[in-house]
Amino acid sequence: MIRQWISFPPAVGTVRTSRLRHFLVLIETSRGRLLFVSLRAKAAPDEGTAARIVALLGDCDPYLDISIANALLDELGLHAQILDCPFDREDEWLATPIAAEAVLDETLTRTRRGQQLGETDRLRFKEQLRCGWQTGFSEAIVRLDGIAVEAARTVGGGYCRPSPYNYFRAIGAPDGIRQRNRIQAAAVFPFLFPLLPTDPWLAPVRRAIDDGEPRLVDVLAWRFAAPKAVIRSLRHQPATSIGPQWASRPNSLTKILTDILAGHRPQTPEMWQSFNTTADLIAKISGRPIECTSNRLWLRAAAQQGYPVADIAGSADDELERAARDIDEFRGRLADALNYKLHFVTESIRALAVAAAVRALVIAHNPIRLTRLARRWRDAYIREQARFSDERQLWIGALWPAVMSVAYETATRRIVCLTTAAELVAEGKEMHNCVAGYVGSCLKGRSQIWSVQDLDGKHCSTLETRVKEGFIRIAQHAGPKNVNPTGSCTEAANSLISHLRDQTAEVNKYARWKQSIASRPMNERTLIALYKPIIAAFDETLPKQWSLERLLSIAKDQSGEKQPRQSAAISI
């Protein structure tokens, strides 16, 4: 199970103490996997301790999250943590706390024997620790896979960490092809490290590399949602040139480079230094991450001017802020529209699918084009809101349509169709009846309430009608305090019904509202009222190749879910 292992401090022996002491242990399993462990124990770890660690973690998924691995060690009763730091750096092993603990233990041991440990003795003891480590490490490093060590040091700035070593060791692939593929990929795309060996998000990239995928640029462009030109611009760019600030944020790096014109993307160490200095300065001045839209636009403008660090503090203007706000609103509203259209997809899957569709559109447009598109959409949205204003009242239930758009008059009476809750309340107070309770029935199109008045505007009776299959009839008719209506009111009501039976166009228009709007649940009507002008604005402004339908297709492909045949789809 264990091919080799070394421990530091190496010369503590098996003396136990009453307190926990700090040890570092490097273990190579029989399969070639490397484990670097920080351990606290009362006695120096022995081979049995190393064997327990290997038995627990040696055959685990090499991409197992370190926090999960540490939790497994806790269950084993070991005060241990898995490390992913350079194991061939002397200062990692001879760190002051560990060396100080070893010196303290030696001092206590000699004190018990009645001996003193002077300054010269301390320096000599520390040198013994150093020599012991160097001897043990030299023997251990020689037995490791030299190719994997060299490759790990190449991507690690000259030092070797367990995760890249294990990745390049390519355990389980004895033919060496997988190891070759991984080393070649690291040489071509150093920016993938140090995350590539361990990040689950990069699993598709690892599979493509192991399988020798010839279109690796395509895979990376898909995974990072970036143009292929951006991915190609990062080929053979040393990690030392790109800068350590991007080591754990390659996704942010590709996102930012996407905004910068090809001729201004950094390619030399000097350009990378200017790029990084400018990005850091912009983030510091704005007080926001460089990834935010306004800062990315600012960096794009700075790139076109050759990254003028001296002038950067005064180069931000209100136009950049406005453009950023417009783009962010555009992207947010587009995501809202796609979420609405994809209501039938599981929520967790829908969020990823919508994000992928929005990214696809953003990638295809540089910030300038995106700003223009966002502003065209905003103007169209304002027009659609104005155009939709009256219809919106019907959708949200603020009012309902009148069967007749104008009042109906006879020789003695004037009949008005009531279309709001406030009008029903006023009618109920005037006539001392319960007509105010008919708001829900009117919203659903089940009832139409009319106020029968004399020609001077005095309320005489209240009339309820109902429309069914394009045919209208009287449901109720009552005077004040629900007494029988007068003959003049009854005659006027019958005249109204006769008139409406002849005016089928108006009744049919009301019936269409009843079927298309009133029949829907109120929460659905509210959503339609919110999204209809948004979607109409996108239909008007999105270019044909990036229509809402195409973006929906991208999102559906990403989600893997299709709209069910019998789905009660919300349509607009």
Task: Find how far residue 38's CA is from the centre of its chain.
Answer: 34
Which structural domain, as residue segments, surrounds residue 545? Answer: 326-389+527-559
Specify whether 381 is located in the same domain as 444. Answer: no
In a domain, 99, yes or no: yes
Q: Is 39 exposed, middle or buried (CB count within 10 Å of its CB: 0-12, 13-18, 19+)?
A: buried
The dihedral through the CA atoms of 150, 155, 160, 162 has a sign that is negative
CA–CA distances in Å: residue 273 to residues 6, 191, 193, 232, 266: 40, 15, 19, 19, 9
Question: In the β-sheet with 448-454, what is the strand arrangement from edge to edge?
Answer: 408-409, 413-417, 448-454, 459-468, 471-478
Specify whether 304 is located in the same domain as 331. Answer: no
pLDDT of res. 100: 66
Instruction: Show which of 261, 293, 315 is a domain's final residue.
Output: 315
> Which residue type does 537 have?
A
pLDDT of res. 480: 94
* H helices, E strands: number in the chain: 24, 9
Specify whether 264 is located in the same domain as 357. Answer: no
Report pTM: 0.62
In a domain, 490, yes or no: yes
In a domain, 566, yes or no: no
* Phi and psi angles of residue 521, each rounded to the nearest 5 degrees, phi first: -65, 150
Judge whether 427 and 459 are in contact, CB under 8 Å.
Answer: yes
Q: DSSP string spanning 227-251? A: -HHHHHHTTT--HHHH-GGGTT-HH
Q: Name which of 84, 66, 65, 62 is nearest 210 in CA terms.
A: 62
Query: Which residues lie closer than 8 Å to 427 by C-beta, 6 or more apart?
Result: 418, 433, 435, 436, 449, 451, 459, 462
Tokens representing 48 are 């049995």
In a domain, 243, yes or no: yes
CA–CA distances in Å: residue 464 to residues 157, 455, 472: 84, 20, 11
Cα(422)–Cα(439) distance, integer angstroms: 9
Specify whether 129 is located in the same domain as 45. Answer: yes
Query: Which residues lie closer than 8 Å to 4 by C-beta, 6 or more apart?
Result: 27, 28, 139, 140, 143
Q: Name which of 65, 8, 5 is nearest 29 in CA terms.
A: 5
* Phi and psi angles of residue 6, each rounded to the nearest 5 degrees, phi first: -135, 155
In a domain, 246, yes or no: yes
pLDDT of res. 134: 75
Specify whether 417 is located in the same domain as 538. Answer: no
Instruction: Show which of 264, 295, 315 is a domain's final residue.
Output: 315
Q: Strands, E, within 64-115: which ranges?
A: 79-82
In a domain, 165, yes or no: no
Specify whether 310 is located in the same domain as 330. Answer: no
pLDDT of res. 566: 37
pLDDT of res. 12: 47
Q: DSSP string spanning 53-70? A: HHHHHTTS-TT--HHHHH
Specify whether 493 is located in the same domain as 430. Answer: yes
Specify whether 418 is located in the same domain as 458. Answer: yes
Specify whether 266 is located in the same domain as 337. Answer: no
Instruction: Show which of 122, 144, 166 is a domain's final residue.
Output: 144
pLDDT of res. 563: 47
Specify whether 127 is located in the same domain as 13. Answer: yes
* Phi and psi angles of residue 2, each rounded to the nearest 5 degrees, phi first: -115, 125
* Phi and psi angles of residue 450, each rounded to the nearest 5 degrees, phi first: -125, 145
In a domain, 398, yes or no: no
State the DSSP code for 126.
H
In a domain, 449, yes or no: yes
Specify whether 183 is located in the same domain as 289. Answer: yes
Reported as type and span, the H/E element at residue 37 is: strand 34-41
Specify whether 134 is located in the same domain as 9. Answer: yes
Over its length of 572 residues, how does the chain's per-residue pLDDT go in tens digits?
788 998 877 644 445 566 777 888 899 988 888 999 888 887 788 888 888 888 888 766 666 667 777 777 777 777 888 888 888 877 766 655 666 666 666 666 666 666 666 767 767 777 777 777 777 777 888 889 999 999 999 888 888 999 999 999 887 776 789 999 999 999 999 999 888 988 888 999 999 999 998 899 999 998 998 899 999 999 999 988 999 899 889 999 999 999 898 899 999 999 999 999 889 888 887 778 998 888 888 888 888 888 876 555 555 556 777 887 888 899 999 999 999 988 877 777 888 889 889 888 887 887 778 888 999 999 999 999 999 988 898 898 889 999 988 899 999 999 999 999 999 999 999 999 999 999 999 999 999 999 999 999 999 999 999 988 778 899 999 999 999 999 999 999 999 999 988 878 888 888 889 888 888 888 888 999 999 999 999 999 999 999 999 999 988 887 765 544 433 344 45
Q: Is 9 exposed, middle or buried (CB count within 10 Å of its CB: 0-12, 13-18, 19+)?
A: buried
pLDDT of res. 569: 41
Cα dihedral angle (374, 376, 378, 383), rounded to 10 degrees? -160
pLDDT of res. 106: 66
Domains of the chain: total: 4
Cα(26)–Cα(48) distance, integer angstroms: 14
Q: Name which of 432, 506, 442, 441 is nearest 472 in CA terms.
A: 506
